[in-house]
Structure 1
Amino acid sequence: MFWLLTMIFLFWTIILVDFHKGFKTLSSIDHLPFRDEKLLISVIIAAKDEEKSIKQTLETLLDQKHVNLEILAVNDRSTDSTGSIIDNLAAHHANVHSITIETLPSGWLGKNHALHIGAQQAKGTYLLFTDADIYFHENVVSRAITFLKNENLDHLTAAPNLRAGSFFLKGLISFFLFGFGYLKRPWTANHPSKKGGMGVGAFQLLTNACYEGIGGHHAIRFRPDDDLAMGLRIKKLGYRQNLVTALRSLSVEWYPDLPSAFKGFEKNAFAGLNYSVLFALLAIAGVFTSQILPFITIWSSRLPLQMISAFTIVLLFYLYALTLRHLTTYSNWIVFGLPIFAVLFIYMLSRALLLTFLRGGIEWRGSHYSLKELKKYYRNSEEE
């Protein structure tokens, strides 16, 4: 057991070096200078049953200054008042365009298809893909486009502030970001090589030429992790990309409560593990061994086990605190809930995988997508 814990400690030591190097490459656009942008930017939003948030999102976009925006709001088969809200705003604002989708063609996921339809009607030199529940603070779009042009980028994606109410929800979200950090290494978006890459659904700004060059959403038409898939594809094909943070300029309530978070995780859990049962089992075992086991063995009666466990726990707390500092606005006190959040994460991942197998696929935005289809299109998108 001592040697296992020593290996875990060495693993986190390596991750610590990577975190320090990676986070240093992440810039914040919250307070960057900006200039007027005359070229047209097409903002494309897919909205399905978003009556609680779509009005605020569109109004905060309409309030953006120093940019020339057209807003294409795509009502994707909504059964609530989303469509009428969009239509009403479009009637009062010439730069808001309402697009309605009645049916979903086979071979597409709903959101990807809606964004694809919106992009087909876009006239801008730049495209901004975003979600229907994002709050855009003052001048964030002008800051982003200025940064993109100054750095000569093809694609800029921004991490927003993920608002959450309860301690446990904040903990689960930040734990997810922590795991995402060491597994996906999002800062690879800022490396010049074609490896890695990143895409955040809240804010994906890219040139129209880049979008067309990667094959648009058609190339990722059956990927539930469409934002990440797009970012990876952009980087793989050699376009210049950057990930920034916008914790004071963009915000979203990712999930209102824990049950919603568990449900929301269903669509991405297996996709994030490449639809591999082996990867899923390794992920569950890995989280338990590396992030829960030290909190158990610290109670051992053997001093060497206690010491290596304590060192590992301190290292984990520090790594978690780095994640909180750079990717959230949460209090650092959350770090002390790490073992609890690890247990919640294992439950959430196990639940998502079990439901995916029992249902034979995922339920998303009112549609069922079979696991067989998801695997098929995942392999095809990787080969393209």
Structure 2
Amino acid sequence: MPPRQHPADAEPATTRTAGERRPRLYAIDGLRLCAAVMVALHHFVGTYRVNQPHNKIWDRPVSHIMPSVFRVTSYGWIGVEIFFVISGFVICMSCWGRRPRDFFVSRVIRLYPAYWFAVVFTTGVLAALPAAWSRPSLRQVLFNLSMLQMGSNVGNVDGVYWTLWSELRFYLVFLLVVATGLTYRKVVVFCCVWGTLAALAPVSGFTALQLLADRDSTWYFIAGLALFLMHRFGPDLLLWGILALSWLMASDEIGRRVEHVEHVSSWRGAFVLFSLFLLAMVAIALGFTDRVQWKWLATAGSLTYPFYLMHYAAGTTAIHYLRDRADPRVLVAVLVAAVLLLSYLVHRVVERPLARWLKRGLTRTFDRLGAPPAPRAATRPATPPA
């Protein structure tokens, strides 16, 4: 195996050689699916909302129906933080050596096809069965199709869409680094600068700074970036320091999340769970899971995004209508399996074809921007015969 190039000497590669393929880390696909299922189970049977005496989902506290399951799934929300770390790792890996236009196209075709379907699907469910959740307005639905609704204080059709707003802001900020060509040094500097801004943002009073350096997600993305640099260039003291600081800052964010949002779980349990996940990501970054080459994990990973987008509003609505017709544990298991099956169909029938169409169209658009086409010749009406 050839020695790795020293990180400080690594120059940005603006093009990829023909036939070059990046090795797939199947273990990350597995972690991604586990995180998605954790979040779904949390939403179905682990939140404080479903543990209220007369909640709209189960109509009685879940801790009375499934006490053991409730205690475990109350920590499932940590799957969102796991998503953010994986996103930082995967985004840096996927755009290394690529042009900004390639980064933009890859994000559009990855995010929007499944999302558009999810908005339409969830809207249809809530319009037909509005007992658990209110029907979204037409204005709300149309604006949700842009994925920019939270920037305009328009409500989400499905509550899980809030994470997409954090992802979009990360892409916007990281695009500045991609535009200059990614190197070890530039990504490290970005982590340090963005992390400093995230630490200062809460006390700065500047709305724009708080928007672009959100402390609720920034440090998770930074952890993912540091882990990818370890994977590509090998670990060093600086990367370990960035990862350790991200871990420490995550302890504060997790504490605030438990205190203000997730009241049914403890800080200690959530932080231990996140720490164990971070250790798993370190193992992946350092190559300890390279022998995991189960191809089915790639398919499992591809289901994660549509599964996450479609599980919450539709799944809790199904529970509302079916809660008295089936054993609760069986109902939840069947719902998870049903959404996974639907996600597979969406991936094959909607996401992949629409992504190919969008990629062709956007590629042609950027080609025109690079070399504007000649203007069309003016057409004159035919001269009538004398």
Please state which band the TM-score falls in when normalised by the shorter chain: under 0.3
Give the strand-richer structure, 1 or 2: 1
Report the structure number with the largest CA radius of gyration: 2
